[in-house]
Amino acid sequence: MLRLHDLQTPALLVDADGLEHNLRTMAGALPGARLRPHVKAHKCTALARRQVELGHRGLTCATVREMEGLARAGLGEDLLLANEVADARRLGAIDARVTLAVDSPATVEAAAAGGVREVLIDVNVGLPRCGCAPERAGALADLARTRGLQVRGVMGYEGHAVGVEDAEQRARLVEQSMRLLVEAHAQVGGDVISAGGTGSFDLNAAATEIQAGSYALMDTAYEKLGLPFRPALTVLTTVLSVSQEFAVADCGLKALGMDHGNPRIDRAKVWFCSDEHVTFAPEQPVRVGDRLRVWPAHVDPTVAYHERLHVVSGEEVLEAWEVDLRGW
Amino acid sequence: MLRLHDLQTPALLVDADGLEHNLRTMAGALPGARLRPHVKAHKCTALARRQVELGHRGLTCATVREMEGLARAGLGEDLLLANEVADARRLGAIDARVTLAVDSPATVEAAAAGGVREVLIDVNVGLPRCGCAPERAGALADLARTRGLQVRGVMGYEGHAVGVEDAEQRARLVEQSMRLLVEAHAQVGGDVISAGGTGSFDLNAAATEIQAGSYALMDTAYEKLGLPFRPALTVLTTVLSVSQEFAVADCGLKALGMDHGNPRIDRAKVWFCSDEHVTFAPEQPVRVGDRLRVWPAHVDPTVAYHERLHVVSGEEVLEAWEVDLRGW
């Protein structure tokens, strides 16, 4: 049995119990097709397979590479690319059920020209990102149908709401967003209202399916929300240098998503990160060779730097899963 | 001939003229062994080979993987791992000339136990990271020699100085740091005083070799220093969605090192980045399908997300170089 101290560092660790708790808790709350797990957070076919085994047979993707990889792995029963593309030819060539988000005449044309058959009308429900204005959704659906596309319904991500700490305010923002989406859906038709994320999984009653992804590994940014999911992802690091005031370990900017700021180390104060190092002040003395766990501030762009996820229980490494859906 | 619009996006672009200008300017200022190019910024064997062709036959690395990859590519004439390791066995197995930084009895023991033959004593010259206290360098060199290691000299990175905007203050900090390093060197012996970076390449007269790496692709953080190198790295992106006030393109947190903050887009104001998107307000209207270039705020962790560097001249893609030294 491989053990933690056998791993090269930095190494991504997933706590087996935490992951299983998160997957089962979500599957209990949103069983089967009520959840369309987003794979962008983990980019890992093995983890997606576990989500499918728990009953969520439709999956959400952020990139074409994720779509291709899941299809190749036999997980292509119902794949949604919840982003627009300007060129859909790679999607059209995938041997799986592919649904694509569209939010403009140009992306409708791209879908049709690329050989994609099914689309969702992506509606802007308050986050300044993709999505058409709600009042344009109906006309866009009509255009899509004239171009031979099957319109399955709408999607709209309330990303401005999911991280709001105050639960009442979060609920209010989610409701406002979903009112827009439901109105758009009335113009668009179809069976699907796809929306939501980990922060709104229990608040969004309007969506027919929730696109949560972070719940599996969880994110420190979600910790304050009192969600029933456990942080399960850390980066294992080795102490390389120890001075009087601080120590240095091998987990730096190329092993961590840094857009949410510095990572955390238990019983230590993190000073800063360099390319391959974190400098920190430990509360208790550490020695060269000691192994520590680093909590990344943002899980998704952290995972995207690593080749594999190690599923661990205590000191034992149970499995190594390839992060095989990286890149584009 | 492949052209820009044939590339999948996001795609890393290197301006061929800018790169060549940077490589030649540096080779003129610090010819041959006066420069030991740091490969951590580009993690690309093809680019390292170009640096060797220009006369810099010794290279600097930040990871064991970089050392292994360069050796495998036949570039192992004189490789320095300018970081400490707790386990040197992979280094000891490399078929190349390997020199390793050590800064403690534990890392000396690791070097000896792992089969490494040559070391530099890493000295803390002011940056709170690795490196022993200057006054301990001599004793550490003695210990290394008793363990059968060849001590080639010292290294010490004045990382707290290289980015200081005011040239006089930068020069003063470099000088202070190098005084410490030269004093340590007097205790240690050996031929090598290895130090410096792109921001001090023309200020550091004490070092026998400069470990600059950023100069090849350059970094927006270095722009204010008035250095004779040109920013040469961008990320090509495609506009996917256009609204009245903003537009969205496919270059997000997983295509950009974010520790220095948001990227820049010419003639546009960047609002924020999501996992796979940048939301920005363009000064002139853009359309779905338009290609733009994004200037990452920090080159090194940006490159580490990408599988290849595309060397471009105008609209032509001259070469695609694998970023083959990623990971650990």
Kindly write down the DSSP assignment for every residue of A211-276, as one continuous string: ---GGGT--GGGGGGT-S----EEEEEEEEEE-SS-EEES--TTSSB-TT---EETTEEEEEE-SS
Amino acid at B165: E
Contact list in B for residue A296 (CB cut-off 8 A) is none
- pTM for this structure? 0.97
Gap between the Cα atoms of B89 and A111, Å rounded:
52
B181 has pLDDT over 90: yes
HSE, side-chain direction, 13 A CA sphere, residue B294: 37
> What average pLDDT does this structure show over B181-196?
98
A223 has pLDDT over 90: no
pLDDT at residue A29, as a whole number: 98
> What average pLDDT does this structure show over B186-207?
96
Smallest CA–CA separation between B129 and chain A, in Å?
Answer: 6
Amino acid at B158: E
Of the candidate ranges A5-14, B113-122, B161-170, B300-309, the one whose mean pLDDT is the lowest: B161-170
A6 has pLDDT over 90: yes
CB contact (8 A) between residue A273 and residue B259: yes
Q: Is B284 left (phi over 0), alpha (psi -120 to 50) or beta?
A: beta
Contact list in B for residue A240 (CB cut-off 8 A) is 83-86, 107, 130
Token pair 């990102």 is found at A129
Put simply, the chain A residues between 190 and 229 with a CB less than 8 A from any chain B CB are: none
Contact A209, A193 (CB under 8 A): yes
Nearest residue on chain A to B128, alpha-carbon basis:
A279
> What average pLDDT does this structure show over B209-220?
95
- Strand order of the β-sheet with A118-122 is A58-61, A78-81, A98-102, A118-122, A150-156, A192-195, A209-210
> What average pLDDT does this structure show over A128-142?
97
From A130, A305, A326, residue closest to B240, measured CB to CB: A130
Structure tokens at A288: 């060269």
Q: Is the minimum CB–CB distance between A238 and chain B shorter than 8 Å?
A: yes
pLDDT at residue B11, as a whole number: 98
CB contact (8 A) between residue B240 and residue A86: yes
From A62, A104, A298, residue closest to B288, measured CB to CB: A104
ipTM score of complex: 0.96
pLDDT at residue B223, as a whole number: 84
Contact A218, A22 (CB under 8 A): yes
- Strand order of the β-sheet with B150-156 is B58-61, B78-81, B98-102, B118-122, B150-156, B192-195, B209-210
> What average pLDDT does this structure show over A204-217?
96
pLDDT at residue A293, as a whole number: 97
**What tens digit of pLDDT does each residue of A87-102 get?**
999 999 999 999 999 9
Smallest CA–CA separation between B242 and chain A, in Å?
Answer: 8
From B40, B275, B287, residue closest to A275, measured CB to CB: B40
Q: Is the minimum CB–CB distance between B106 and chain A shorter than 8 Å?
A: yes
CB contact (8 A) between residue A240 and residue B124: no
**What tens digit of pLDDT does each residue of A18-71 get?**
999 999 999 999 999 999 999 999 999 999 999 999 999 999 999 999 999 999
Gap between the Cα atoms of B212 and A84, Å rounded:
40
Q: Is the minimum CB–CB distance between B257 and chain A shorter than 8 Å?
A: yes
Smallest CA–CA separation between A248 and chain B, in Å?
Answer: 6
**What tens digit of pLDDT does each residue of B8-64 get?**
999 999 999 999 999 999 999 999 999 999 999 999 999 999 999 999 999 999 999
CB contact (8 A) between residue B328 and residue A242: no
CATH annotation of B4-12+230-322: 2.40.37.20
Gap between the Cα atoms of B52 and A23, Å rounded:
51
CB contact (8 A) between residue A253 and residue B300: yes
Q: Is the minimum CB–CB distance between B163 and chain A shorter than 8 Å?
A: no
Structure tokens at B98: 């390997």
Q: Is the minimum CB–CB distance between B237 and chain A shorter than 8 Å?
A: no
- Outline where DSSP puts E strands in chain A: 11-15, 58-61, 78-81, 98-102, 118-122, 150-156, 192-195, 209-210, 233-242, 247-249, 264-265, 268-273, 278-282, 291-295, 308-313, 316-322
- When pLDDT is cut at 50, 70 and 90, the band that residue A162 belongs to is confident
- When pLDDT is cut at 50, 70 and 90, the band that residue A84 belongs to is very high
- Please state, as a whole number, how many other Cβ atoms lie within 10 Å of the Cβ of residue A17: 12
Nearest residue on chain B to A306, alpha-carbon basis:
B327
- Please state, as a whole number, how many other Cβ atoms lie within 10 Å of the Cβ of residue A266: 11
**What tens digit of pLDDT does each residue of A274-288 get?**
999 999 999 999 999
Smallest CA–CA separation between A246 and chain B, in Å?
Answer: 8
Q: How many Cβ contacts (< 8 angstroms) between chains A and B? A: 144
pLDDT at residue B169, as a whole number: 93
Question: b/e per residue, B23-41, with b = 16+ CB within 10 A?
Answer: bebbbeebeeebbbbbbbb
CB contact (8 A) between residue A241 and residue B104: yes
Give, as one character, the DSSP assignment of residue B257.
Answer: B
pLDDT at residue B222, as a whole number: 87
Q: Is the minimum CB–CB distance between B9 and chain A shorter than 8 Å?
A: yes
**What tens digit of pLDDT does each residue of B295-320 get?**
999 999 999 999 999 999 999 999 99
Contact list in B for residue A130 (CB cut-off 8 A) is 240-241, 248, 277
A219 has pLDDT over 90: no
- Please state, as a whole number, how many other Cβ atoms lie within 10 Å of the Cβ of residue B210: 27
**What tens digit of pLDDT does each residue of B269-279 get?**
999 999 999 99
> What average pLDDT does this structure show over A298-314?
97
Q: Is the minimum CB–CB distance between A251 and chain B shorter than 8 Å?
A: no
Select A16-218's CATH number: 3.40.190.10, 3.20.20.10, 3.40.1190.20, 3.30.565.10: 3.20.20.10
Q: Is the minimum CB–CB distance between B277 and chain A shorter than 8 Å?
A: yes
Contact list in A for residue B40 (CB cut-off 8 A) is 275-276
Put simply, the chain A residues between 119 and 138 with a CB less than 8 A from any chain B CB are: 124, 128-131, 133
Share of chain A above pLDDT 90, in %: 97
CB contact (8 A) between residue B277 and residue A129: yes
pLDDT at residue B1, as a whole number: 85
CB contact (8 A) between residue A129 and residue B248: yes
Chain B interface test: which of A66, A198, A242, A328 (most B C-beta within 10 Å): A328
A222 has pLDDT over 90: no
Token pair 């360098």 is found at B137
Token pair 């029933």 is found at A228
Contact list in A for residue B238 (CB cut-off 8 A) is 86
pLDDT at residue B144, as a whole number: 98
From B84, B238, B254, residue closest to A86, measured CB to CB: B238
Domain limits, chain A: 4-12+230-322, 16-218
Smallest CA–CA separation between B211 and chain A, in Å?
Answer: 15
Q: Is the minimum CB–CB distance between B275 and chain A shorter than 8 Å?
A: yes
Gap between the Cα atoms of A98 and B8, Å rounded:
19
From A242, A288, A300, residue closest to B253, measured CB to CB: A300
CB contact (8 A) between residue B128 and residue A287: no
Q: Is the minimum CB–CB distance between B300 and chain A shorter than 8 Å?
A: yes
Gap between the Cα atoms of A181 and A223, Å rounded:
27
Nearest residue on chain B to A251, alpha-carbon basis:
B328
CB contact (8 A) between residue A276 and residue B40: yes
Q: Is the minimum CB–CB distance between A276 and chain B shorter than 8 Å?
A: yes
